[in-house]
Amino acid sequence: MKVNCDINVHHLTRVEGHGNIKVKIHDGIVQEATWEVVETPRFFEALLVGKKWDNAPWICGRICGICSIGHTLASIRAVENAFGMTPSGQTSKLRLLLKHMETLQSHILHLYFLAAPDFLNVGSVFPLIKSHPDVVGRAAGLKKLANDMCDCVGGRRLHPTTTVVGGFTMLPDRKELARFRELLVGSVPGLVATAELFKTFHLPDFARETEFISLKGEQEYPFIGGDLVSTDGVVKKESDYRAMTNEYMVPQSTSKWSKLSREAFAVGALARVNNNFRLLHPTAQAISTDFGLTPVNHNPYMNNIAQLVECVHVVYDSIRLIDELLASPWQETRQQVTPKSGTGVAAVEVPRGILYHCYEFNETGHIIKCDCIIPTSQNHANIQYDLTALAAKFAAEGMEDRNLELLAEMLVRAYDPCISCSVH
């Protein structure tokens, strides 16, 4: 039986940003198992100081290239909360629709382009273009639909242009929305085929008891604002987010770490499904159950399946939103903004988990203090504890280096980390 192992992955591939995995096992005992984050910090919280409120969503969207829409919407909500504004029903629906399409494009990107190559035994999606043209074509089609809808509602799929404090600069074309509704209905078979594909993949058999944190849904599966909840039973107000995150620094990471009831916690699709399973669309719920994903599931690799389940949910929910939006004529596009001094907090569920933005303004609406807590930074500690447990479990089983290295890489990828985001 093999009992020694030395794994060193410098700049893990097929994840956003820069992180390293190190595992050393000697005589069957784990000497080291480290998830290192080496990304260069960008200091968004400092560079926003002194900026007027209208800069915040424009600049903060640039924290992330994948979830720029989520950051923009969190930033807008934090400003609106600080100024005591409530978005209109129409604005809320359009924002949620935009959010859903970002969730869909991000999850599809992760499932097909970043995660699937591991299960299909290739280094990237590129060889799949020749070997599995139908699979790549389906992924490209679903991603294109989601991105085209982001263009339609948000003005641009990446770093949106129409989304502003108070509402939108302009509203989408109603005929286009109706056209997209039909395309969404037509996308369901592609999602069913995606589920069938993932059914053929063998998810690693590994679980570690974990606390999961997300927004707490009341009537709807939650994405924008509301109370915060953990599977260990903690409930907090949105404005009390710091009591939920408890950030601290560690030497192995340029990103901060978080904890709540235990040494670490997890956020993301799996956390949302674990906390809000009953609020999923019935079809999404059925697919989830079919995969054995029911609350509370502690296998981190199941995050892939939770993303798939959410793809189904957001497609059905987007159809509902478009129906509701088209049922009445367009109302006012944008509210007037009156800046005032105060603090505003926003919690928004972005593809990789719960995101917080908090700004403190002076009376002219200039930022005095800024705080952004990113999903991936909340997950780093949990990835570390999973990695240690994973190394111990499989070392005890005498697994080969190459296999353990792949499992470790797949573990980090399952969290779909957005590392440059976490070191904003």
Partner 1 sequence: MSEAAAKPKTFLGVPVYKPKVAFFELTSCEGCQLQILNNEGTLLDFLDLVEVVKFREGMTGGTDDYEIAFVEGSVTRQDEVERLKTIRKNAKILVALGSCACFGGVNQLKNRFPLDWVKKEVYGDHPIDTAPVQSLEEIVKVDLKIYGCPIKKEEVERIVTDLAIGNDIVYPKYPVCMECKANGNICLFDVGEPCLGPITRAGCNAWCPNSRAGCWGCRGPADECNVVQLISIMEQHGFSRDTIIDRLECFGGFAAYADQLRTGLKP
- By beta-carbon proximity to partner 1, the closer residue of 157 and 281 is 157
On whether the CB atoms of residues 404 and 23 are closer than 8 A, the answer is: yes
H or E segment to which residue 424 belongs:
none
Distance in Å, CB of 41 to partner 1, minimum:
6
Closer Cβ to partner 1, 58 or 201, answer by number: 58
In whole angstroms, give the CA distance from residue 350 to residue 367: 24
The CB-of-89 to partner 1 minimum distance in angstroms stands at 22
Least distance between partner 1 and beta carbon 317 (Å)? 22
Residue 207: CB minimum distance to partner 1, A: 26
Give contact residues for partner 1 (rule: CB under 8 A).
Answer: 11, 13-17, 40-43, 45-52, 54-55, 58-59, 62-66, 68, 109, 113-114, 117, 123-126, 129-130, 133, 136-137, 140-141, 143-144, 147, 155-159, 161-162, 164, 169-170, 249, 254, 420-421
* Residue 128 near residue 136, CB atoms below 8 Å: yes
Give the helix/strand (H/E) hosting 178: helix 174-199
- Of 173 and 290, the one with the shorter C-beta distance to partner 1 is 173
- Is residue 181 within 8 Å of 172, Cβ to Cβ? no
Q: Name the strands in the sheet holding 29-37, side by side, starting at the edge strand that comes first in the sequence.
A: 5-9, 19-26, 29-37
Pick the closer one to partner 1 by CB: 80 or 211: 80
Kind plus residue range of the DSSP H or E element containing 373: strand 367-373
- CA–centroid distance for 132 within its chain: 27
> Closer to partner 1 at the Cβ: 169 or 289?
169
What is the bridge-based pairing of β-strands 211-215 and 167-168?
unpaired
CA gap 421, 286 in Å, rounded: 33
Q: Work out how close the CB of 225 gets to partner 1 at its nearest, in angstroms, rounded to a whole number.
A: 24
Our CB check for partner 1 shows the closer of 184 and 421 to be 421
Q: Report how far residue 326's alpha carbon sits from residue 174's, in angstroms, rounded to the nearest whole number.
A: 7
In the complex, least distance from residue 257 CB atom to partner 1, rounded to whole angstroms = 12
Question: Which run of H or of E encompasses 22?
Answer: strand 19-26
Q: Decide whether 135 or 287 has the Cβ nearer to partner 1.
A: 135
Q: How far is the CB of 400 from partner 1 (least distance, A)?
A: 18
Spell out where 204-328 has E strands. 211-215, 228-230, 235-236, 265-266
